[in-house]
């Protein structure tokens, strides 16, 4: 099936703004940055640039993932925040709905990941050439057919949470790449919490956006 990019039309939801940072609740279906081709020019950072011409990228969320993203407003802040992500000084918590009933209450997935070149943008587990990747998980609710979990990525690989959940045998519901087709109209993955140190004060600050599912 050919992918057609139809981003949501609602304006960005601003969670916080000051002289150094902008924090936004990204909707599912909107690119973080422009994709290839004019038809994929509409994206979150382009929309923010209309309101904040100084906006700079720090990190990304997948097209299908919603939730909290932080942007910088100057180069110094961009470097500061990027280093926090690189040195794992930030805390990220995602909420996901998984297929099936997960056994156990919590655990860690430790599987190396790398791009699956013949099938890109898919990623896959590769114990020879993959990059170390770890995800902590905790069950918050389950039924016979579905499990709701909190996911805490230790590393930040592309599609990490999606591939790790698939490797557990419980793909994220609505995942167009790693799950079976379903009635869900979106990927059930949401970045609910982001904690970082403010570049001005160095104090820890937490931003949250409740999952819309």
Q: Mapped to the 3 state alphabet, what secondary structure does 40-85 carry? A: HCCCHHHHHHHHCCCCECCCCCCCCCEEEEEEECCHHHHHHHHHHH
Q: Decide if 97 contacts 173 (C-beta within 8 A).
A: yes
Nearest to residue 151, comparing CAs of 170, 141, 165? 165
The total number of residues written for the chain in this structure: 213
10 is catalytic: no
Q: What is the three-class DSSP state of 160? A: helix
- Dihedral sign computed on CA atoms, order 209, 135, 59, 115: negative
Q: State yes or no: cis peptide before 93, omega within 30 of 0.
A: no
Beta strands 13-17; 21-26: pairing state: antiparallel
> Of these residues, 62, 74, 175, 200, which one is catalytic?
62
Q: What residues act catalytically?
A: 62
């Amino acid at each position: 099936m050919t992918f057609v990019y139809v981003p949501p039309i609602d304006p960005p939801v601003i969670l916080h703004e000051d002289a150094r940072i902008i924090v936004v609740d990204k909707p599912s279906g909107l690119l973080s940055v422009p994709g290839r081709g004019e038809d994929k020019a509409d994206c979150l950072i382009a929309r923010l640039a209309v309101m904040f011409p100084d906006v700079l990228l720090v990190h990304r969320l997948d097209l299908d993932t919603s939730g909290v993203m932080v942007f910088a407003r100057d180069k110094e802040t961009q470097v500061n925040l990027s280093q926090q992500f690189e040195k794992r000084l930030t805390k990220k918590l995602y909420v996901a709905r998984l297929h099936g009933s997960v056994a156990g209450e919590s655990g860690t997935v430790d599987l190396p990941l790398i791009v699956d070149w013949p099938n890109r943008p898919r990623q896959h587990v590769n114990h020879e050439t993959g990059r170390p990747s770890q995800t902590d998980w905790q069950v918050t609710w389950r039924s016979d057919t579905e499990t709701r979990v909190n996911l805490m990525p230790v590393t930040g690989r592309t599609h990490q949470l999606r591939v790790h959940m698939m490797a557990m045998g419980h793909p994220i519901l609505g995942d167009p790449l790693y799950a079976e087709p379903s009635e869900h109209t979106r990927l059930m993955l949401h970045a609910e919490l982001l904690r970082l140190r403010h570049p001005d004060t160095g104090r820890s600050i937490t931003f949250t956006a409740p999952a819309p599912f």
